[in-house]
Structure 1
Amino acid sequence: MAVAAEEAQFHVLAVDDSLIDRKLIERLLKSSSSCQVTTVDSGSKALQMLGLREDEESTSPVPADKNKIEVNLVMTDYCMPGMTGYDLLKKIKGSSSLKNIPVVIMSSENVPSRTTRCLEGGAEEFFLKPIKLSDMTRLTPYLPKGKLQDQQRESSNDNNYSNKSKDFCLRRQGRDSPVIA
């Protein structure tokens, strides 16, 4: 029971201006790690969810505890109107209370200088869209220990069983089928 409570506490904030991409990210995260996922459509809403607000006079976020949620990982699109994913990354890493939260940047554009800039700016990973289930394995270090690895092992076992079943059926089919010459 304690394990289930621990897993339920792991929370990912997914930030993307595209509804389709938000839904895809949410589905992939839930299927690969069974974590709680909250989605928002902008960097400024993400800051609000994290308990920060943008101060128009300053580049650093100002605490605003109202509506704050506890988040263990942030996944954000790079290119969004208003605040970019890189801007959000800098605000998170510039906050003393949030700087240790891992941030993953996603983009549909493969621009090496952008990738380098984000990784040097503190992003743990940079994913190219569309995000795939196989990309989720790169999140293993940031997810609850064992959960994703256990699921990968189960998936591998299921695939092995499935392949063995297919082989058995095909062999059987070959033996039982009349040979046409």
Structure 2
Amino acid sequence: MGMATETQYHVLAVDDNFIDRKLVERLFKISSFHVTTVDSGSKALEFLGLVDNDHVNKSSCPPSVPSALHQEMEVNLVITDYCMPGMTGYDLLKKIKESSSLKDIPVVIMSSENVPSRISRCLEEGAEEFLLKPVQLSDVKRLRPHLLKGKSREQNQLEAVQEAQELQVQEQKQELQPVQELQVQEEELKLEEELQEQLVLQESEQQSTQQSNTKRKPVEEFSPERTRPRYNELTMI
């Protein structure tokens, strides 16, 4: 069960040196992480969805990963070499931290040179760690808290998006409520008018029936059957 949870973490490894790149990939895979490797900072940005056109145009090598793949694969940590041609690891770090959509991704810098000023500059810019090459398995284990931190940030962002969506739905319901109430009132008024019309029609029918009965009564009083006995009596006299 623990292994399945660890494989959820996705690491993007950036290094122009093939051997160092494969070493980092192997160490993270041993630790049950999913790893994607690229050989330049520009390709890393392309994978992350933040294309740097200047560096891409200057690069003669095609991207080693599909440009749209970042939309399907979530990156939980970026580990990059400091010294690379074109775009250094420090430049890549700055690009990531300047991006509103990528700034929460933990970034780790690695280098074969132990230069204090370089280390300080990277840490001040937002790097989580500065590792000296060759990277060891113990270094990878040290990075696990940063992966967890990156996951918690993403979870908070997801919850914030869900809350915003729920708030939007509530606002839409509030906007529709007066319209729905008005529709109900109109339906009630229409029903009341129909009932009133039925009552008026019933009263009219009742009055018509009463008038018909009233006319029939005088006719019955003057019928031949009623006058004939009186006529016979007069004749006998």
| Length-normalised TM-score, structure 2 | 0.54
Counterparts in 2 of 1:86-165, with a 5 A limit?
86-144=90-148
Q: Secondary structure of the residue that 1:37 maps to in structure 2?
A: strand
The aligned counterpart of 1:37 is 35
Q: In the aligned structure 2, how far is the partner of 1:144 from the partner of 1:35?
A: 13
The aligned counterpart of 2:15 is 16
Structure 1: segments with no counterpart, 5+ residues: 57-64, 146-181
- Structure number with bigger Rg: 2
Q: Secondary structure of the residue that 2:69 maps to in structure 1?
A: coil
Give the letter aligned to residue 100 of structure 1.
D
Structure 2: segments with no counterpart, 5+ residues: 55-66, 150-237
- Structure with more contact order per residue of length (Cα contacts < 8 Å, sep ≥ 6): 1
CA shift for structure 1 position 141:
0.6
| Length-normalised TM-score, structure 1 | 0.69
CA shift for structure 1 position 24:
0.5
Q: In the aligned structure 2, how far is the partner of 1:121 from the partner of 1:19?
A: 27
CA shift for structure 1 position 4:
5.2
Alpha-carbon contact 2:106-2:147 (below 8 Å) kept: no
Deviation above 6 Å: which 4+ runs of structure 1? none
CA shift for structure 1 position 55:
4.3
Which has the larger strand fraction?
A: 1
Give the letter aligned to residue 104 of structure 2.
N
Q: Structure 1 vs Structure 2: percent identity of aligned residues? A: 73
Q: In the aligned structure 2, how far is the partner of 1:5 from the partner of 1:29?
A: 15
Match 1:67 to one of 66, 69, 82: 69
